[in-house]
Chain A
């Protein structure tokens, strides 16, 4: 230890006052650290623990509960009562497997749709005149500040059978009978694209706006046609934005509850809705915990990749 300290680089003079206040420094680190450890990390451990428990008609509605007053023996006793029944149940009942698969399919398809809709918007914003760009940016961010629930709700009035979209289409004469859109997966896709669009447009815009226009000039000078220049220069250089946007959409959409619940139908299977039902309707806390653990396992890889990218870009998080 002493050897290591002796080999440590000489501390520059500006570090001296900072060192004196090392207690204050530790406080700055410790307060948010401890807060997040207790209210973000520990709860996950409890979810894992309860996912191995059994439902009980009691308060809290599961067993065993770890009773520390019995010391180590109480702990060992509780461990003996743990069971993997909830996980066995999840694999045996096709409903849950279908819900996980359907969530992933909906998340992948809608991430693709959001990218398809968002890219031209971000591209147009990045090519608009510099004077207009702050206003356009503000206009894209503003709906993102208004309530998610209200924005989803607004689509019910538009998509339902006697809703505004059907009225409009009937009036134009495109259709002769109202379409059933609300309570189908179509409505879920529309709701997701609408709600998550700013999450895609903002990182895309940030990437496209940084693009050096001289690269495109060089390409044009060398005889590259605009469309081919887009695919060979603009799109590859905007890939960091594409990836950031896709993560920001894909991960939360996989566990989405409000949109499938309000806009989807009874056949719309999404795991966030299943978890909600198990918890609030069936009151099966252990099973709901097992559903959450599996969802977390599915999302852990994308979340870790997202976190690493965000940490590396040092606050370049385009939200």
Chain B
């Protein structure tokens, strides 16, 4: 081993910082999950293992209703945001500098960092100004608007690294542009589109502030329900709901990443085989 390797060595300092960082990220979540199985109503005193809080959840109709509303909002808004966000990404990457390009890219990037309270308040005032009945659909419109920007950024990063010669070949062979998009482009950017959908879905599941502003009577989402209960005090029931939500997201994200990894691996293998046969 030469001197060069020494400069890139993974030192004890690197190891400790990564380990401490991961512990910091995971310990609170782990404790939350552990205490959801606590027998006691006191969240911080361990009194034995129990799944009774999960049983209790099944009888909490208000919470179940809120969960159902949240899932429907997230599904509809993520699907619409994925379509709009993909179109926006194509616009940003492929259409060069058209009239109003700066305004467009500003409207894509600004919501990524814009404080929730501003987005929520401004959308509410719009809905009031046009006299739109607030509730389920206004939350969906609001969620589509901010999550389409996240989808656009995710899909855009894939489109930038995309080999355009495949598209050009299809066009040269007389394939119409729309057909080229669905046959060539879309399958190639599919992993990014799926990742964008998942991101939009979790952003919608997660949102408290924008939903609180844009909702009306009758449409209460799970974060709003959790928030109002947390304000009254910490209960093992909230830990149980949180654990279920964390579990669903963890399983979803991990399986999605495993599937893409496997597909990527088999694609590389196929490409290598094709290259050898050629």
A residues neighboring B (CB under 8 Å)? 14, 17-18, 21, 24-25, 28-29, 31-33, 35-44, 46-47, 50, 60, 117-118, 120-121, 123-125, 127-129, 136, 138-143, 145-151, 153-158, 160, 162-164, 167, 194, 197-198, 201, 213-214, 216-217, 219-221, 226, 229, 247-248, 251-252, 254-258, 262, 272, 275-276, 279-280, 285, 288-289, 292, 295-296, 299, 303-304, 306-307, 310-311, 314-317, 319
Asked if A160 and B123 sit within 8 Å, CB to CB, the answer is: no
Which residue of B25, B118, B160 is within 8 Å of A314 (Cβ)?
A: B160
Residues of B within 8 A of A221 (CB): 3
Chain A, Cβ-Cβ closest to B123 = A43
Which residue of A38, A285, A295 is within 8 Å of B118 (Cβ)?
A: A295
- Minimal beta-carbon separation of A27 from chain B (angstroms): 8
Residues of A within 8 A of B31 (CB): 154, 157-158, 164
Interface size on B, residues (CB 8 A): 105
| Residue picked from A128, A197, A314, most chain B C-beta under 10 Å | A314
Residues of B within 8 A of A151 (CB): 28-29
- Grouping DSSP codes into helix (H, G, I), strand (E, B) and loop, the A interface class, with mixed when no group exceeds half, is helix
Bound complex: CA of A221 vs CA of B6, how far in Å? 11
- Minimal beta-carbon separation of B76 from chain A (angstroms): 15
Bound complex: CA of A319 vs CA of B152, how far in Å? 12
Bound complex: CA of A265 vs CA of B91, how far in Å? 46
Any A CB within 8 A of the CB of B188: no
Which residue of A128, A146, A197, A226 is within 8 Å of B250 (Cβ)?
A: A146
- Minimal beta-carbon separation of B139 from chain A (angstroms): 13
Residues of A within 8 A of B217 (CB): none
Asked if B7 and A307 sit within 8 Å, CB to CB, the answer is: no
Asked if B115 and A39 sit within 8 Å, CB to CB, the answer is: no
Any A CB within 8 A of the CB of B265: no
Chain A, Cβ-Cβ closest to B15 = A124
Residues of A within 8 A of B69 (CB): none
Asked if B145 and A35 sit within 8 Å, CB to CB, the answer is: yes
Bound complex: CA of A148 vs CA of B89, how far in Å? 26
Asked if A39 and B91 sit within 8 Å, CB to CB, the answer is: no
A-B contact count (CB 8 A): 299
Residues of B within 8 A of A17 (CB): 171, 176-177
Residues of B within 8 A of A262 (CB): 230-231
A47-B121, A142-B253, A296-B118 given as contacts; is B245 within 8 A of A306 (CB)? no
Asked if B234 and A153 sit within 8 Å, CB to CB, the answer is: yes
Which residue of A43, A255, A307 is within 8 Å of B122 (Cβ)?
A: A43
Asked if B10 and A317 sit within 8 Å, CB to CB, the answer is: no
A31-B84, A217-B7 given as contacts; is B18 within 8 A of A121 (CB)? yes
Asked if B148 and A46 sit within 8 Å, CB to CB, the answer is: no
Q: List 23 A-B contacts (CB under 8 A).
A: A29-B87, A38-B126, A46-B126, A123-B14, A127-B11, A139-B22, A139-B25, A140-B21, A143-B29, A147-B223, A149-B226, A153-B242, A155-B28, A157-B31, A157-B35, A157-B43, A198-B25, A219-B7, A255-B115, A258-B209, A292-B118, A303-B114, A310-B109
Which residue of A33, A136, A162 is within 8 Å of B91 (Cβ)?
A: A33
Asked if A289 and B125 sit within 8 Å, CB to CB, the answer is: yes
Asked if B126 and A32 sit within 8 Å, CB to CB, the answer is: no
Bound complex: CA of A129 vs CA of B125, how far in Å? 52
Any A CB within 8 A of the CB of B274: no
Chain A, Cβ-Cβ closest to B208 = A149
A121-B18, A146-B29, A153-B238 given as contacts; is B123 within 8 A of A303 (CB)? no
Bound complex: CA of A280 vs CA of B214, how far in Å? 12
Asked if A220 and B4 sit within 8 Å, CB to CB, the answer is: yes
Asked if A14 and B171 sit within 8 Å, CB to CB, the answer is: yes
Chain A, Cβ-Cβ closest to B5 = A217
